[in-house]
A = this chain, B = another copy of it.
Amino acid sequence: MDAEVNERWPTVVDMTATPATRRSDATRAAILRAARERFAADGYDRATIRAIAADARIDPSMVMRYYGSKEGLFAAAAEFDLRLPELTGVPAGRLGELLVRHFLDRWEGDETMVALLRAASTNAGAAERMRDVFADQLGVAVARVAPDPAGAPRRAGLVASQMLGLALTRYVLRLPPVADADPAELVAWVAPTVERYLRGEPATPR
Task: Name the contact of A205 in the complex, choosing from B120, B157, B182 (C-beta under 8 A).
Answer: B182
A36 to chain B, nearest CB (A): 16
Q: A158-B190, A204-B188, A205-B188 are in contact. Are A43 and B122 (CB under 8 A)?
A: yes
Q: Which 5 A-B pairs have the closest CB atoms?
A: A165-B165, A157-B177, A43-B122, A184-B205, A188-B203
Within 8 A of B (CB), among A86-136: 97, 117-122, 127, 130-131, 134-135
Q: A46-B45, A162-B161, A162-B193 are in contact. Are A130 and B181 (CB under 8 A)?
A: no
Bound Cα distance from A64 to B158, whole angstroms: 42
Q: Per-residue CB proximity of A163-206 to B under 8 Å, as 1/0?
A: 11110111011111110011011011110110011000001111
Residues of A in contact with B (beta carbons under 8 Å apart): 42-43, 45-46, 97, 117-122, 127, 130-131, 134-135, 153-154, 156-158, 160-166, 168-170, 172-178, 181-182, 184-185, 187-190, 192-193, 196-197, 203-206
Copies of this chain, count: 2
Q: Could you tell me if A177 and B189 are in contact, using CB atoms closer than 8 angstroms?
A: no
Interface centre among A127, A135, A154, A158 (most CB of B within 10 A): A158
A123 to chain B, nearest CB (A): 9
Task: Name the contact of A46 in the complex, choosing from B122, B175, B189 (C-beta under 8 A).
Answer: B122
